[in-house]
Amino acid sequence: MPTYSSTAGGPSHHAEADDMAFVVKDLQSLRAAVRRKQNREMQRLRGQRRTKRRGRRQNGIRTVKRLVSKHLHDCRVKRLVSEHLCLFPPH
């Protein structure tokens, strides 16, 4: 799985695929993080459980979506900056 790297000498053709691989790897770690957070919450609630809490799963999914879109935006910005630096190197 190729890691994201901007190649010198213009935009790389594999940038999009690299992004996707990056995001997939990221998604797995994000899912794991969300699961850990939920487990912690469950541990905390075990002592004081009264009713079933609704909407926690949706919240987790929303968190992942937000993080992924932020990550994609960061990648896009990074690529734009690197392309700009390739085209206009600082003197």
Q: pTM value?
A: 0.31
**pLDDT tens string 31-60:** 888 888 888 888 777 766 555 555 556 666
- All structural domains of the chain with their residue ranges: 15-87
SS (H, E, C) 9-71: CCCCCCHHHHHHHHHHHHHHHHHHHHHHHHHHHHHHHHCCCCCCCCCHHHHHHHHHHHHHHHH
Residue 28 to residue 23: CA distance in whole angstroms? 9
Q: What is the pLDDT of residues 62-74, one digit of tens each?
A: 778 888 888 899 9
